[in-house]
Structure 1
Amino acid sequence: MKKVVTIVILLVFLCIKLNAQENGVHQQSTVYEWPKDMLVKHKLDNWQDKKFGMIIHWGLYAVPGIMESWTLCSEDWIDRDSTISYDAYKKWYWGLNKQFNPIKFEPGQWARAGKKAGMKYLVFTTKHHDGFAMFDTKVSDFSIAKGPFSTNPKADVAKYVFDAFRKEGFMIGAYFSKPDWHSQYYWWSKYATADRNNNYDIRKYPWRWNQFKNFAFSQIGELMHNYGSIDILWLDGGWVRPLETVNAEVLSWGANIPKWSQDIDMPKIASMARKAQPGLLMVDRTVHGEFENYQTPEQKIPDAQLSHPWESCMTLGGAWGFVPNDQYKPAGIVVHKLVEIVAKGGSLLLGIGPKADGTLPDEVFNRLKDIGAWTALNGKAIYNTRITKNYNSGQTWFTQSKDGKTRYAIYCLNTDEKPMRSISWQGNSPAKGTPVTLISTGKKVDWKDVNGKTTIELPEGLSGDKANIALAFEFMPDAEN
């Protein structure tokens, strides 16, 4: 009977629509505060050079192949079978730690695939909202290093992930969920778990909340002290925040806001973390202020260019983690998003999810390979660039070198676009008499400018090649541009 119930639960939750995840999406802050620490400023500038990163969601949810963590949360948008008790589901979900045994875990393959795709930085989920740690934490038994994988030499998963990506030259980011739904200090079993927030009045039980603050501080401390050089502390769960930071913007999300403050003392955390990791970038998502060193709009691109640092985090497929039969975006769509994001001043953090055995789906490798075919030839127009005032003209997006002496124009080809003899854009004219180079070939192209409209004569054989899903050009800009 128990086996039948488990199968029913699996079938129910494998059928949850992936777009339900939109309810957990973090919106973008509308206020930005530049850092004052010179080491942080230097690292932030270095991060802005990278432009393209990988975020990996991997945890218990990979075992049944379902949406990450959120099915534990009792909110209206979570669609569960009413014949299955909520408590039974939580017990089943957290019991997946006894099954999670990724014996094919080889992070070097992930890192090499990311590098070939042109990715330059990593964000790895050391712990998601469900509280399951993907590192060998000493303050909890609920981790990958305590279950059936504990005897494996790579049981301290985060260490080996960070080491593998560091070896390939990546900046290293540690994702950490501020809420922890497994902790009795956050979701206390004395009360029902009504939603994503902590489920008791902190004002009545300050001791319990202080225990949670100590718990979060300790786990972040482990990550900052025991895992080598860390460049980014990427904190998720923006509803865990001081009450005074809850403004009209936060209320517009539609999530329930408690009457008490879920303050975990970010100044104390930042002081400890930056003492261990000087210049560390803090990304306290959506909590505008000194600990949100760059903004993180999720699954979308801002409508207009932004002059401060930001990153659009998007999934390669329809889910953050692994789900069976996921539909992955074609390389052309990813490249076009990357181009638009960079022209608007941001970076693209692309999400993938390994399977429960530790391998990546073949489709993920194939997509990353195809993306890399473009970045390998055209990366000059993406990496180490900065924004231009006039950043878009139809299908063409513009970037420039950091010194402003070189301009780049990137024309995004439609997937069904027929071979063309020429393309045009308005504004961003090349300086008169100077060459325009097609970056993918290194060859000069013929061009003309009439009343601010630049027309490029294209060589034959460009359309239909995966490396030419977007055409990048290099030129010296006219002084009036």
Structure 2
Amino acid sequence: MKPAFLRFALGILFGIPAFAQQHSEQKHDKYIWPKDEQVKQKLQSWQNIKFGLLMHWGTYSEWGIVESWSLCPEDEGWCERKGPYAANWFDYKKAYENLQTTFNPVKFNPERWADAAKQAGMKYVIFTTKHHDGFCMFDTKQTDYKITDPKTPFSTNPRSNVTKEILGAFRQQGFMLGTYFSKPDWHAEDYWWAYFPPKDRNVSYDPKKYPDHWKKFSDFTYNQIEELMTGYGKVDILWLDGGWVRPASTIDSTVSWQRTIPYSQDINMARIAGMARQHQPGLLVVDRTVSGEFENYVTPEQQIPDHYMPIPWETCMTMGDSWSYIPKENFKSARKLVQTLVDVVAKNGNLLLNVAPGPDGEWHEEAYLRMQEIGKWMNTNGESIYGTKPLAPYRQGQWAFTTNGQASYASYLSSDSEKQLPANLALPTINISPTAKITLLGTTQPLKKTKLTEGVITVSIPEKVRQQFAEQPVWVFRISDR
């Protein structure tokens, strides 16, 4: 890494509004439930496991900058270029793409990641095989802009096909496996065709006017996805990003970022999904923000819906501030992360939490610490998360409610100032029978309960229990007649 780039890299932080603009305005009234029985079964299995890991990783980690977006010639904060090449976009793109010749993550150890994620209670993983910049973290035959090309120092490493290694490591731990893939490719000669320099994130020419170029790009995309569906063992989820690559008929003019899409960019998702499921029966296809049969679940980004949603959905969120690696990350507290998971699950969602490896192939040590802290809570309280369904009223004040059919769970999210449970705590209105036994997860001692008014029950918590379970992000009460 050149010192000049290190200096400017430290000054470029990923701005959440970039992704908020792309994905916060999703509408879900057009959701279509899958008809394929294998897809329906896979979707149900995915909804039961609740908690997953997302990893953004590419050559951009060398500069410690936002993933891909500094290449985008849009006048937006998240696209800002800095450093010695910033004044000229062509020079900048050349220097950015030259990172391929220095990328050498010699500390790459996916088994450590899989162990940490399993310890945290995560059950599925999504890995960025290719982001918008087009650099492939897998051994594609469609381009030499990839980690396994001889120009890349890490290509000589026996584990250079990092996608294969990562999926293999997580498969060994029993994870559901997903491949993130960017539909737009800003390196591909038939997307940003050099004859027409790009003006924004979109294709640089009108595909209807130049159909031969668009067909080449569509085939390129199809072929790369087929490689991922055939050369990497069992895959459960194809997670497609870059929602501006979509047919014109799906553009929603009431959504601000979709109004800027100038052309129909139809890559024939029916053909892609059909091929992918032929190789991977039951595959979940997540064509993000493109409502319809190829968006098997929806993906609000960096946010949690404010209400229960009856369709399959997943909040994708960063553990820190950035999707990509930055040298000094501001990680969310374990308390915040656990409460986020509880909130999401109570509203019928999954949580996909992003951690970004660095240029050496390692996570920040603080990320491992967060995994341990989350795992400690999950070891005691996981039964209120896995395999549960939301229970009305879902969320009420500091309470969240779930059920697994055998028991109901009332989760109390601590406030900033609460270090211990109150000695007496009123449970909000839920259907609790007079004979129900109420315990705090982590103990087997039934709590004394008193019915105050219709539907409201107060439980008394012994001082010893209050002390034993002090400093918890969420306290979970199990309510059962058994």
TM bucket, shorter chain: over 0.9
Asked if the contact 2:423/2:466 (under 8 Å) is kept, the reply is no
Partner residue of 1:18?
14
| Equivalent of residue 248 in structure 2, options 228, 243, 248 | 243
For 1:189 and 1:155, locate their aligned partners in 2 and report how far apart those are by CA, in whole Å: 30
Q: Secondary structure at the match of 1:93?
A: helix
2:213 alignment partner AA: R
List gaps (5 residues or longer) in structure 1. none
What is the CA–CA distance in structure 2 between the aligned matches of 1:463 and 1:297, rounded to whole Å? 38
Report the counterpart of residue 414 of structure 1 in structure 2: 415
- 1:389 is paired with a residue whose SS is strand
Which of 472, 478, 481 is the aligned partner of 1:468?
472
Paired residues of 2:123 and 2:175 also in contact (CA < 8 A) = yes
| Structure 1 position 193, deviation (Å) | 1.4
Q: CA deviation at 1:463?
A: 6.0
> Deviations for 1:52-89, whole angstroms, at most 9, x for unmatched residues?
00001110111111111111101111223496211111
Distance in 2 (alpha carbons) for counterparts of 1:301 and 1:36: 27
Q: Is the 8 A contact 1:374 1:466 kept in 2?
A: no
Q: Root-mean-square deviation (CA), in Å?
A: 1.9
- CA drift at 1:205: 0.8
Shift of 1:248: 2.8
Match of 1:178 among 164, 168, 183: 183
Q: Hey, what does 2:31 align to over in structure 1?
A: 32
Structure 2 counterparts to residues 258-277 of structure 1, below 5 A: 258=262, 260-277=263-280
Task: Give the residue type in structure 1 aligned to 2:393.
Answer: N
Q: CA deviation at 1:462?
A: 3.7
1:29–1:458 CA distance, 2 compared to 1 (3 A): same
AA of the residue aligned to 2:44: D
> Do the aligned residues in 2 keep the contact of 1:12 with 1:80 (CA within 8 Å)?
no
**Contact conserved, 1:116 with 1:369, CA < 8 A, in 2?**
yes
Are 1:151 and 2:156 counterparts? yes
Structure 2 residue aligned with 1:439: 441
Could you list the per-position Cα deviations for residues 243-272 of structure 1 after superposition, in whole angstroms to 9, with x for gaps in the alignment? 00001343x2366211x3100000000010
SS at 1:454's partner residue? strand
Q: Aligned AA for 1:469? A: P
User: How far apart are 1:21 and its partner, in Å?
Assistant: 5.1
1:102-181 pair list within 5 angstroms: 102-146=105-149, 147-181=152-186
CA 254–209 in structure 1, closer or farther in 2 if over 3 Å, else same: closer
Contact 1:29/1:287 (<8 A) preserved = no
How many angstroms does 1:29 deviate by? 3.2
Structure 1 residues 421 and 466: alpha-carbon distance in aligned structure 2, compared to 1, 3 A threshold: closer
Residue 257 of structure 2 aligns to a residue whose secondary structure is coil
Alignment of 1:58-457 (within 5 A): 58-77=57-76, 78-81=79-82, 84-146=87-149, 147-250=152-255, 252-253=256-257, 256-258=260-262, 260-401=263-404, 404-419=405-420, 420-450=422-452, 451-457=454-460
**Partner secondary structure for residue 183 of structure 1:** coil
Provide, for residues 321-372 of structure 1, a one-character-per-residue CA deviation record: whole Å limited to 9, x for no partner.
1101110000000000100100000000000001111111100000111011
Tell me, in whole angstroms, the C-alpha distance in 2 between the residues paired with 1:465 and 1:95.
53
The separation in 2 between residues aligned to 1:207 and 1:285, in whole angstroms, is 26
Q: What amino acid is the match of 1:124?
A: F
Distance in structure 2 (CA, Å) of the matches to 1:317 and 1:379: 23
The answer to whether the 8 Å contact 1:373/1:467 transfers is no
Deviations 1:202-237 (A, max 9, x none): 122100000000000000000000000000000000
Q: List per-residue Cα deviations over 1:441-462 (Å, max 9, x = no partner).
A: 2332222222222222223354
Shift of 1:197: 0.5
Q: 1:230/1:92 Cα in 2 relative to 1: closer, same or farther (>3 Å)?
A: same
Per-residue CA deviation, residues 110-141 of structure 1 (Å, 9 max, x unaligned), is 00000000100000000000000110001110
CA distance in 2, matches of 1:68, 1:416: 37
Cα deviation, residue 142, structure 1: 0.6
Q: Is the 8 A contact 1:332 1:415 kept in 2?
A: no
Determine the structure 2 residue equivalent to 1:44. Answer: 43
| Amino acid in the other structure paired with 1:416 | S
Change (3 A) 1:391 1:463: farther
Q: Distance in 2 between matches of 1:14 and 1:157?
A: 26
Residues 7 and 200 (structure 1), Cα distance of their counterparts in 2 relative to 1, 3 Å cut: farther
Instruction: Report % sequence identity.
Output: 46
Give the paired residue count: 470
Q: Secondary structure, in 3 states, of the residue corresponding to 1:189?
A: coil
Q: Is the 8 A contact 2:435 2:481 kept in 1?
A: no
Is contact 1:123–1:173 with CA below 8 Å preserved after alignment?
A: yes
Partner Cα distance (1:392, 1:210) in 2? 48
d(CA) in 2 for partners of 1:181 and 1:269? 20
| SS, match of residue 391 in structure 1 | strand
AA at the equivalent of 1:303:
D
1:179 and 1:84, CA in 2 relative to 1: closer, same or farther beyond 3 A?
Answer: same
What is the one-letter code of the residue matched to 2:119? K
- Return the alpha-carbon distance in structure 1 between the equivalents of residues 146 and 365 of structure 2: 27
